[in-house]
Amino acid sequence: MACPSRCTPGARTAKPAARAMRKTSGCCPPSDGLLMRPSPAFRARRGFTLLEMLVVMALLAMVAGVAAPPVVRWLENAELRGWRADVRARIERLPVDAYVSGAPMEVDAATLLKGLAAQPAGARLTLERPLRYAANGAAEGGWVRLEAGGQVTRWRVQPLTGELVEAAP
């Protein structure tokens, strides 16, 4: 087995006294003879001790314990934000649905939630009164209240356009 070029040349063929005086680089394992076999001491130093492994695992467990709760909270909030965005998009699409169907529409909270993804736990949608749209897509106006994750969002449905405007809870 040839050593990388950083090792001293001739280390394999030198006389024992010269070999003892020459230092090889850290890349070459100590040898017990001319064939460059690693010494038993070098072979025993490979790998990690059980104590080292336990210390590393304890450190990883502490880092995971500190990082996990914020990550879980962020994932839960992401689900709520996504559901809130879906509800908003569905309400903003209602004037177009009324126009395309050519018939007046009246939508209550249960009907509004039908085509959406599963409602997150603790989330609730309430309407002041059913949302009404004329056959030409004009909205009558109204209020939407969305409670999710301890946050309350109120939207005002603008008359005529059906656009949602965020209002103070």
**pLDDT digit string (tens) for 125-146?**
899 999 999 999 999 999 999 9
User: Model confidence at 120, in pLDDT bands (50, 70, 90)?
Assistant: confident
Cross-strand pairs, 142: 157
Distance CA 116, CA 132 (A): 19
Torsional sign, CA 126, 116, 158, 160: negative
Enter the pTM of the model.
Answer: 0.59
126 close to 152: Cβ distance less than 8 angstroms: no
pLDDT in tens, 40-66: 666 666 788 999 999 999 999 999 999
Distance CA 32, CA 37 (A): 6
Phi first, then psi: what are they for 134, rounded to 5°?
A: -80, 170
38-42, 80-84, 87-91: which has the minimum mean pLDDT?
Answer: 38-42
Two tokens at 35? 């064939």
The secondary structure of residue 87, as a DSSP letter, is H
Task: Look at residue 80 in the predicted model and tell me its pLDDT.
Answer: 85
The secondary structure of residue 32, as a DSSP letter, is S
